[in-house]
Structures are given as structure tokens and as C-alpha cells.
Amino acid sequence: MQAEDKTGSDARPWDAVGLLLQAARPEKRKLLWGLLWLLVAAGLEALGPALGKRFIDEHLLARQFDVPAMAGLIGAALACAWASSWVRYLQLARMAGIARRSVLRLREQVFSHVLNLPMAFFDRAITGQLVSRVTNDTEAVNTLYRQVLYVMLDSSLVVLGSIVAMAWLDWRLMLIVVMLVPASVLIIWFYQRWSAPAVQAARALRSDINAQMAESIAGMAMLQSAGAAPRFAQRFAATNGEQLQARVRELRANAWLLRPALDLLNVLLIVTVIYGFGQRELSGLELGLLYAFLSYISRVVEPLIQITMQFGQLQQSMVAAARVRTLLQESRPAAGSRPDCHISRGALQLNGLRFAYENGRDVLSDISLQIAPGAFVGIVGHTGSGKSTLLSLLLRFYRPQAGEILIDGQDLALIPDTAFRAAIGLVPQEPYLMAASARENIAMGRDISEAEIIAAARAARVHDLLAGLPQGYDTLLGEGGARVSSGQKQLIAMARALAGAPRILFLDEATSNIDSATERLITEALRELHGRVTVVAIAHRLSTIREANQIVVLNHGRLAERGDHEALMAIEGGLYQRLVTLQSLQSLQSDDENEELEPSQA
């Protein structure tokens, strides 16, 4: 079931700014130049009313109709307006470029971070929410750059330029206008308090919507077979509705508070300034000043309105940025710190392992085991006895709380990741095939030749199958390998593991989905590896590991028995003996059932 996504609900502005600066770091110089040019644009814009004042005072009111000078002033005012717009346009284009590239970098960083997170993270992560983090949230950061920051930066500079120009003309009148700034801040503060919960809720619910979709699509077979489609649709509709409500609350805050309050402020300001002028003696000189002030007021009010109107967007983007940052702060396992370590023989040694999942009880206790290079070891035990967990520790997906794992005498934790992954192969319980060709599914992006791919497929007894597909090895297998059967998937996964020429091969129930004939093929393939590759295989189907040099029986997370098949069968009333007996009875029973079915099928 879905967990509500609360990551980033404690959005702090500095988180967002920190993230932005980090993503834009390679283009720091461009950003600084952009800032500088915006300053120039603000300066040019502030010049306009001052030139207008001069035109009124020195020419119109003084009745000095010096045409070249007047044309010069008008031309200069027009040139300033044109140049400031042009500079601003160029900077907007520059900012948009920086934003696009930064988001690209950020998205790559987030994805590569996610790819390297420890498996424990994925035990609590929800796919849809993670996807939302990498796509929607990084996109919101783009908006933060392009619209919000640009508009805010540009508007702030225009306000600043106008205030400086007004102070130069008449500092007392300037003070009246400046009163507008704290008043706007107050309005923004109220607006934020009113709308912040709605903004956060809307974002969290959107991520929930993604998560529900991803979950439903991934589990479609279960969902449809359980007739759960109407319930899922209902739940989806409810979340969708809640999201709409949250958005409406946010827009209402905008419509009822933000814009009307700011417009009112604007009117109050103009009235105050005109009243201030009314109190003075109206001379010719003052008319030019009045014109300049009214022009500056619009150059302060409009940007302030722009800034405040961006606040809604800013909040959303900040929530998104905080979520991305939270994800980036998820710690990655320390990479193996001994570059000289490498795996050549494939000897394994487990000393006193103890392990529990996060906040859970011990799943494995006191596991000590020695596996010689090239040996074949089977791990068996009842459901939930800890077999897969033991494998996960060997695969370094989790770290044991106590004890150590040594490969070729070196601490597993110290072996560099590339050396470790290159030396091991895994055939998991539920092999996942990519939406790619059979060839790509075996190569998995590794530098493996065609001959090696085919050799691996032959070794895994899957070559004939792949060669017989409509486009041979180039046939697309469909997302999750939807075009091949579960058993075939396991064989392809086996080929994938063998293609890397591993020193150690791990198999997790690799024969669970295949028929007895194919199991025999796999057993043959494993036999071929004897002495060359260390094989650690978990098997429910005990026939798969019958030939193992050593079979380890787990019972409630403890090592209960070990030895080869004969030795374990000799333990009277032993766990292994009981498991084998139980399985023989089951297969006899299913043989009987098949025989009963046969006449009716014939």
C-alpha cells in the first residue's frame, strides 16, 4: 500500500538555493555576467524617468524649445528603454540556457545517486515517488531558475535602481515609496502562512499519484486477477480529488489575498505621493519631479507585484528542491577503499555473521562458513529461514551488523565496487529483463564480444531459443521480459551472469520456474563450472544442489547442518533429510495427479 510522501515537507529556502548553486557551479561565470548585465538593464531603465523630468523641467515648462536637445533627450530615453529590454531579453535567454543545463546535470546526478544507493534504501522507497523525484521535482527546479529566480532577480534590481534614482531626486518622497517594501513583505508573509500547507499537500499528493500509477502498472497481473481494479481506480480518484482541492486552496490564497492586497497598496501609494506634492507649493520644477516619481512608483510596484506573484511558484519549487536535496543526502555505501584488492580465486569465508533488517529482529545469527575456490555450495532451508538474506550479504547489498565476509582473504567491504561486480555473477529469484534486445540483455552494457555472448548463451542452454526468435539475438524482449516465459527468463539471466566470466556465481532459486528437463540442462551447466567458478546456489528444488560439494541448511537464521548430500541424508531425523523426504512425497503426489489427468487429456 502507498505511503504518503512527506519527503521535503520541511522545505528550507537555503536547501533550494544550495541545490541551485551546486547545479550551476560549472557555469558560475555566466551567472555572474548575467547578474552584471541585469544591473546594467536596471540602470538603463532607471534613467528613463530622470530624462523625462529633464525634458519637462528644462524644455516644456521653461518654454525652451531647443529641438536638437529635445530630440536628443527623447532619443536617449527611447534608447535606454530599448537597450534595457534587449539586455534583459538576452539575459533571460542566457538564464534559460543555464537552467536547462543545470537541470540536466541535476537529473543525471540524482539518477546516478539513486543507482548507487544501498538496497536498504529501496526497502522503504516507493518507485513512483522516486520517479517523481528524478523527473517532476528536477523540472520544478528548472522553473525555479527560469521563472522565479530570473524574475525575482531582475525585479529586485529594477526596484533597487528606481529607489536609488528617487533618492537622488528627493529622498523624503523616496522614503514614502520605500514603505511599500515592508508592506509587501508583510503581505507575502501572510500569503505564505495561508498557502504553504496547500502548496506542500499539492506536491506530496502529486507524487502519490505517480506512485499509485507505478505501483498499479507494476502489479497489473495481481491487480486484475484479484479484481482490485475498481478499488484502485477509486483510491486514485480520491487522491486526484484531494490534489485538486489543494491546488484550489492555493489559487484561492492567490486570488483573495495576494493580488488585491498588492493593487490596493499601489493605489494607496500613488494617493500618498500626490498628497505629499499637494502639501508643497506647486512650482514648475515640482511637475517634472511628480512625473518622475509617478514613473518610478510604477517601476517599484510592478516588479514587487511580480516578485510576490512568483511566491506560489517559488514555494512549490522549493518543496521540490528540498525533496531532491533530501534524496541526494541519502548516504551511499562507502566504496571499497583498497584499490589493490581484487578477486582471483573466488574463495569465500564467513565469520560469525549477524544481520537484522532496519529496526527488525535478527534474521541471521552466528553464521560461519568456509567455501573453497571453485566449490559448489547449496543453501537450503524453510521459507523465511534467511537464505536470500545471506545471499544479499554476500552480494554486498547490506552490511552485517557483526562478523565479516572475506573473499580471497580480503574484507568484502574493502574491495572496490568495480572489481567486486566484475568478479561475481547473479541469477536472481525473479530475473528482470530490460526492454531491450536479447543481446543487450545478456551484455548489460559491458564490453562483451558477440562470441562471448553466444558462448554464455550456449553455456546457459538458451542459445537455441534466442537464435530461433524472429530477429534472433536482436529480438526485443519487452519490458520486464514480457515476451519470454519465467523459465526462459531465468536461463537468459544465467547467460547474463556467465557472460561476465565471474569468479563466483550466485544463484537464487534459479531452477524454481523451469521444468525438470531444463533443470537437468542447468545442472549440466553448473557441472561444467565445477572447479573453475565458485557457485553458491539457493535451491528449493533440492535436486539442483544434490551434486554440491557442501550443502548448508539454515533454520531460523542459524546454520543447522552442513555437509554433502550423502552426509546430510545420513543424519537420522535431520532437517535436510526431512526436506528431501517431503519433496519426494510431493513429487510422487504430483506424478499421481498427472497420471490421473492424462486419460482425460488424451
Ligand X SMILES: Nc1ncnc2c1ncn2[C@@H]1O[C@H](COP(=O)(O)OP(=O)(O)OP(=O)(O)O)[C@@H](O)[C@H]1O
Interface residues with ligand X (CB under 6 A)? 123, 357, 360, 363, 381, 383-389
CB of 480 to ligand X, least distance (A): 20
Q: Which is nearer to ligand X, 306 or 388 (CB)?
A: 388
Query: Which residues fall within 8 angstroms of residue 475, CB to CB, at 6 or more apart?
Result: 437, 438, 466, 469, 483
Q: Which is nearer to ligand X, 73 or 363 (CB)?
A: 363
Type of residue at 557:
G
Q: Which is nearer to ligand X, 196 or 393 (CB)?
A: 393
Q: Nearest to residue 169, comparing CAs of 69, 288, 45?
A: 288
CB of 368 to ligand X, least distance (A): 18
CB of 554 to ligand X, least distance (A): 7
Q: Which is nearer to ligand X, 355 or 473 (CB)?
A: 355
Q: Which is nearer to ligand X, 458 or 562 (CB)?
A: 562
Residue 290 Cα to chain centre, angstroms: 55
Q: Are strands 550-555 and 376-381 parallel, antiparallel or unpaired?
A: parallel
Q: Which is nearer to ligand X, 469 or 579 (CB)?
A: 579
Residue 464 Cα to chain centre, angstroms: 39
CB of 421 to ligand X, least distance (A): 21
CB of 514 to ligand X, least distance (A): 17
CB of 508 to ligand X, least distance (A): 8
Going from the C-alpha of 508 to that of each of 105, 394, 459, 465, the distances in angstroms are: 37, 12, 18, 22
Whether the CA torsion 204, 206, 212, 214 is positive or negative: it is: negative
Expressed in angstroms, the distance from the first to the final Cα of the chain is 45
Q: Which is nearer to ligand X, 383 or 601 (CB)?
A: 383
Query: Which residues fall within 8 angstroms of residue 274, CB to CB, at 6 or more apart?
Result: 290
Assess contact for 388 and 499: CB atoms under 8 A.
Answer: no
The string of DSSP codes covering 261-292 is HHHHHHHHHHHHHHHHHHHS---HHHHHHHHH
Query: Which residues fall within 8 angstroms of residue 67, CB to CB, at 6 or more apart?
Result: none
Q: Which is nearer to ligand X, 297 or 363 (CB)?
A: 363
CB of 407 to ligand X, least distance (A): 21
CB of 511 to ligand X, least distance (A): 13
Per-residue cell: 124: 522503504
Query: Which residues fall within 8 angstroms of residue 378, CB to CB, at 6 or more apart?
Result: 537, 538, 539, 542, 544, 545, 548, 550, 551, 552
Type of residue at 583:
Q
